[in-house]
Amino acid sequence: MKKQFLVLVEDRPDDIDLTLRALKKNNIVNEVVVLRDGTEALDYFFATGKYTGRNLDELPAVILLDIKLPKVDGLEVLKRLRANEQTKLIPVVILTSSKEERDVMNGYQLGCNSYVRKPVTFEEFSEAVRNLGLYWLLLNEPSPQPVLR
């Protein structure tokens, strides 16, 4: 079985670097698949476009999903993931700048497992990433893989 890995859907290079740095600093060395917009995320999860032929059985321990994304936004990605038998149980954590009531509500209604607002200071940001990594990679027991025909 493939080692547990993370998916980070994030368009800002700075945030990608800071997230990766925070993971590394907290000794979380699992592989991180970085997807830079909504379309790429959908291609990845449904093995289309440049991800055609990807092994769909490989599911991440958690998806860290930004809401504000170019082309297809994070909420739309979440909706499509939840509508698909194979991806509907993957834990999704929304990691975003906004904590607007409307965004949080939409996130939960579409079936996110957690909603985290990115802190501005690196200490807090790092702490948040550490907690997420530890929780979803170590503490959380993932659901058994759905059997697909």
Partner 1 sequence: MQKKIRVTPKKKKIMPAVPKTALFPIVGVGASAGEALKGNLAKAGEFLGDITEKETEAGLEKTRKELEVIKQLADEAGEFAENLIDTVREPLIALDQDLRVVKVSRSFYEFFKVKPEETVGQLIYDLGNKQWDIPKLRELLETILPQKATFDNYEVEHDFLDIGKKTMLLNARQIQRASGKERIILLAIEDITEKKAEQANNLLAAIVEGSGDAIFGKDLAGRILSWNKAAEQMYGYEAKEILGKHISLLSPPEEKDACNRIIEQIKRGEKVSHFETERVRKDGSRVWVSLSISPTRDSSGAINGASIIARDITERKKAEEQLKAMALDLQRKTELLEISNKELEAFSCSVSHDLRAPLRSIDGFCKAFMEDYSANLDEQGRNYLCRVCTACQQMAQLIEDMLMLSRINRSEMRRKQVDLIALAKSIADEFMQNEPQRKVEFVIAPSITANGDGQLLNIMLHNLLENAWKFTGKHPAARIELGVTKKEETTVYFVADDGAGFDMKYADKLFGAFQRLHTTEEFEGTGIGLAIVQRIVSRHGGKVWAQGEVEKGATFYFTLN
Inter-CA distances, 28 with 18, 91, 129, Å: 14, 18, 10
For residue 123, state whether it binds partner 1 (rule: CB under 8 A).
Answer: yes
Nearest approach in angstroms of CB 89 to partner 1 is: 30
Q: Are residues 125 and 97 in contact, defined by beta-carbon separation less than 8 angstroms? A: no
DSSP 8-state secondary structure symbol assigned to residue 29? -
Q: From CA 41, how far away is CA 45, in angstroms rounded?
A: 6
Nearest approach in angstroms of CB 3 to partner 1 is: 27
Q: Of the two residues 44 and 66, which places its CB atom closer to partner 1 in the complex?
A: 66
For residue 118, state whether it binds partner 1 (rule: CB under 8 A).
Answer: yes
For residue 98, state whether it binds partner 1 (rule: CB under 8 A).
Answer: yes
Three-state DSSP state, 52: coil
Q: Which residues bind partner 1 (CB under 8 A)?
A: 12, 14-15, 18, 21, 68, 97-98, 100-101, 118-123, 125
